[in-house]
Structure 1
Amino acid sequence: MTNPIQFLRTVLTVDAVTCLAMGALLVAAAGPLAGLLDLPAALLFEAGLLLFPSAGFMLWAARHTDRLEWPVRAVAWLNLGWTAASFAVIALLMPGLLGTAFIVVQALAVAGLAALEFHGLSLFRRAFA
């Protein structure tokens, strides 16, 4: 059986690292990406900034999964919120094909991480119930 604590720590760490990478990309290249993706540079820049504290919280949660469930649950729900907001951006701003593809791919990746986090929580509950 998979160790649920190690599983959650790994998923949360991957989530945090991808947040940091995406945040760095969006902050550093908001201008060039805006033209390429047909999205406002300010939206990309601010979304990137938002990812840094999110990654910090994920890393903190990864260190506390052995005692606390709520941070993992919060990360998973925030990931689902990010996914929903991503699709709202498509509906509201109607970017071109490349911008839509960029948003869809990252939204599905974030939703996948949320699914893994919820799965890890169910493993955790079964192991320590």
Structure 2
Amino acid sequence: MSSSDSFGVPAPSRTSAPTDSTVVRGDTGLLRLALRLDAVATGAVGAAALIGCAALDSILGLPVAFLAGIGAFLVLYALFVARVGSASAPNRKAVRAVIGSNLAWFALSVVMAAAGWLDPTGLGTVMIVVQAVAVLGFADLQLLGLRRARTSLV
């Protein structure tokens, strides 16, 4: 019976080493770097949105409650990504979840900007698109790191 932490990341087994199917093996340096960079950037953006939501409301045209909610979510998500990236052999499912989440975030951000959801200002729309492209970059770098780790085993 295995346990997991509050983020659903399986706890290491005390009786056996992780299997190749549960963790990323090989050269994980690029993958872990991409995850850590993502965590730092996500945490910084989340903290800025959470702390500055009242001031950013008029500048970006996004409601205070939306900015505060997104900010809180991003801070928690950053902690999860940092946890995944801190392992010398990251959990494969957790890495895939981060990549998938980043791709979904990119897609939803583009739709939000294109559809004008929440009626952002021009600067708000630019910020939505810029952060979406940055998130897509993190997903791409993480996918590259995952592939590099796999090919280093061959």
Who is 2:153 aligned against?
128
Dislocated runs of 4+, deviation >6 Å: none
- Computing the radius of gyration from Cα coordinates, the structure with the larger value is 2
2:134 aligned with 1:115: no
**1:1-28 deviation per Cα after TM superposition (whole angstroms, max 9, x unaligned):** xx83111111111110111101110000
Pick closer, same or farther for the CA change 1:77–1:65 going to 2, 3 Å.
farther
- The residue aligned with 2:111 is 88
Give, as a single letter, the amino acid of the residue that structure 2 aligns with 1:52: V
Residue identity opposite 1:108 in structure 2: V
1:55-98 CA distance string (max 9 Å, x none): 11111111235152221111111111111221232212342210
Match of 2:55 among 22, 32, 38: 32
Q: Which moved more, 1:7-16 or 1:64-73?
A: 64-73
Aligned to 1:14: 37
Q: Give the conservation status (yes or no) of the 8 Å contact 1:65–1:72.
A: no
Counterpart of 2:122 in structure 1: which amino acid?
Answer: L
Once residues 16 and 125 of structure 1 are traced to their aligned partners in structure 2, the CA distance between those partners, rounded to angstroms, is 23
The answer to whether the aligner puts 1:105 opposite 2:130 as a matched pair is yes
Q: Which moved more, 1:99-108 or 1:56-65?
A: 56-65
Structure 2 segments unaligned to the other structure (5+ residues): 1-25
CA RMSD of aligned residues (A): 1.6
SS across alignment from 2:28: helix
Aligned 8 A contact 1:30 1:41 in 2: yes
1:98 maps to amino acid: L
Q: What SS does structure 2 have at the residue aligned with 1:4?
A: coil
Report the TM-score, using the length of structure 1 for normalisation: 0.90
* TM-score scaled by length of structure 2: 0.76
2:102 partner letter:
N
- Per-residue CA shift, 1:43-64, capped at 9, x if unaligned? 1110000012211111111123
1:62 corresponds to 2:94: no
> Letter of the aligned partner of 1:128 in structure 2?
L
> Which consecutive residues of structure 1, in runs of 5 or more, have no partner in the other structure?
none
Aligned length: 127
